[in-house]
């Protein structure tokens, strides 16, 4: 144990991972406490609505993840600090504009969304769009902190958001606001997280304010050069998000509300694997630099994969050995009916965690060809789910086959790239 602690202290990468992992575990505990708490405060039908809304939030907020990862890449690789900060500010204005347009669209389309997803009210969809709007400033400040490798502060910002979401949502549901209360809690949590992250980011150099130049159009002369990379991040982020959340949306659409609610509970537990290992990917992105030697970047990737295999593999093993016990413990007896899905769904999330690392690695190096691989994987996964959804097991199998197809495409592309590199330097394959 002492030897392990010494190794962590000596390695900046392992030290950052240890700090961010500890924070992420605390965040994960609160995030997953959110679902069991809501699962006990709500019946399966409204709980399924909440899970669907959270999945929609993840899908709709993809552009924020894209711009957040772009911010990390700019902070990590840009040599001119003032220009880097100005570029981030212009990207923030663009994100705010996009989210406000999304809010208007949500107001207009809310009744259609209510019918499509079989909801009792259209109001939660409007509040969901508002949650994305208020997420913009906190996303950029947290990304700035991560790009500067202040992983402790980044984790604390996430901790504030997770604790606030649990507290506000539970109180509002207890007061009788149901699904609406859960989503309003998400809005309040984003505002609370922003209040914390804004102070810390300003202290560390992010001194641009939305109050200056807010109503001017974004400076596209600064933004356009980064949009190509933003497209790369978008395809990769869409693919990874689909691998761990599109099943919720599909089940909510194709199955009755009660079944969808029960499946949401199983999916919630399976996602533990992805979110346990997500901190490793978050540390990987600012640790890989284009200017670094290939060997140094590859060493970071190997360490990240080893950590993911150890942490994610331990959780997956537990899912396979005692699925019913885990579901009963975390979600309650009413979800036991579909506990047998947990091992296979956990495997999907385990594969998605590894794929997330690989995609982020090539994103950090700005390998644009990876976008086509990600797009193909996304299309295959969505196509399989649409074509094969006759049962809950069929949906899970479609997700699994989609993840394996993406892994095969990625492996094949890497072999081709290595072959070309070897030929270019005169090495026989």
**What's residue 12's pLDDT?**
61
CA–CA gap between residue 243 and residue 398 (Å, rounded): 10
Structure tokens given for 28: 């994960």
Contact of 379 with 370, CB cutoff 8 Å: no
Structure tokens given for 27: 């965040």
**What's residue 407's pLDDT?**
92
Structure tokens given for 73: 């890449």
CA–CA gap between residue 394 and residue 390 (Å, rounded): 6
User: Residue ranges of the chain with pLDDT lower than 50?
Assistant: 1, 4-5, 8, 210-211, 425, 428-429
**What's residue 293's pLDDT?**
80
C-alpha dihedral, 139 to 145 to 146 to 152, nearest 10°: -110
**What's residue 205's pLDDT?**
72
User: From the centroid of its chain, how far is CA 429?
Assistant: 38
Neighbours of 34 (CB within 10 A): 24
Can you list the alpha helix ranges (DSSP code H) found in 255-335?
257-270, 272-287, 294-321, 323-330
């Amino acid at each position: 144990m002492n030897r392990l602690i010494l190794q962590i202290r000596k390695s900046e990468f392992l030290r950052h991972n240890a700090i961010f992992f500890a924070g992420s575990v605390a965040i994960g505990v609160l995030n997953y406490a959110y679902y069991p708490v809501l699962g006990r405060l709500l019946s399966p039908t409204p709980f399924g609505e909440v899970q669907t809304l959270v999945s929609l939030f993840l899908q709709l907020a993809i552009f924020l993840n894209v711009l957040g990862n772009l911010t990390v890449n700019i902070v990590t690789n840009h040599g001119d600090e003032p220009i880097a900060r100005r570029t981030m500010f212009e990207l923030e204005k663009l994100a705010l504009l996009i989210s406000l347009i999304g809010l208007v669209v949500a107001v207009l389309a809310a009744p259609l969304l209510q019918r499509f997803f079989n909801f009792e009210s259209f109001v939660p969809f409007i509040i969901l769009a508002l949650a994305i709007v208020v997420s913009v400033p906190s996303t950029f400040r947290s990304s700035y902190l991560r790009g500067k490798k202040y992983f402790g502060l980044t984790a604390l910002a996430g901790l504030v958001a997770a604790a606030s979401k649990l507290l506000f949502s539970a109180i509002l549901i207890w007061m009788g606001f149901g699904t609406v209360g859960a989503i309003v809690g998400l809005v309040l949590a984003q505002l609370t997280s922003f209040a914390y992250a804004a102070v810390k980011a300003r202290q560390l150099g992010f001194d641009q304010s939305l109050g200056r130049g807010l109503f001017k159009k974004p400076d596209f002369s600064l933004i356009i050069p980064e949009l190509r990379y933003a497209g790369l991040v978008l395809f990769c982020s869409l693919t990874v998000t689909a691998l761990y959340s599109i099943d919720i949306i599909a089940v909510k659409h194709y199955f009755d509300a009660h079944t969808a609610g029960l499946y949401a509970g199983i999916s919630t537990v399976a996602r533990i694997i992805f979110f346990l290992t997500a901190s490793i990917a978050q540390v990987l992105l600012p640790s890989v630099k284009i200017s670094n030697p290939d060997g140094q970047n590859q060493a970071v990737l190997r360490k990240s994969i080893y950590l993911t295999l150890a942490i994610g593999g331990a959780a997956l093993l537990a899912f396979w050995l005692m699925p019913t016990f885990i579901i009963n413990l975390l979600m309650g007896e009413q979800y036991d009916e579909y506990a047998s899905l947990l091992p296979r769904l956990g495997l999907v999330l385990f594969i998605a965690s590894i794929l997330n690392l690989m995609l982020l690695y090539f994103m950090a190096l700005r390998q644009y060809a990876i976008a086509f691989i990600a797009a193909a994987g996304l299309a295959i996964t969505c196509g399989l789910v649409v074509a094969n959804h006759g049962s809950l097991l069929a949906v899970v199998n479609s997700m699994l086959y989609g993840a394996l197809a993406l892994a095969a495409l990625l492996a094949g592309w890497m072999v081709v790239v290595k072959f070309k590199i070897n030929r270019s330097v005169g090495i026989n394959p």
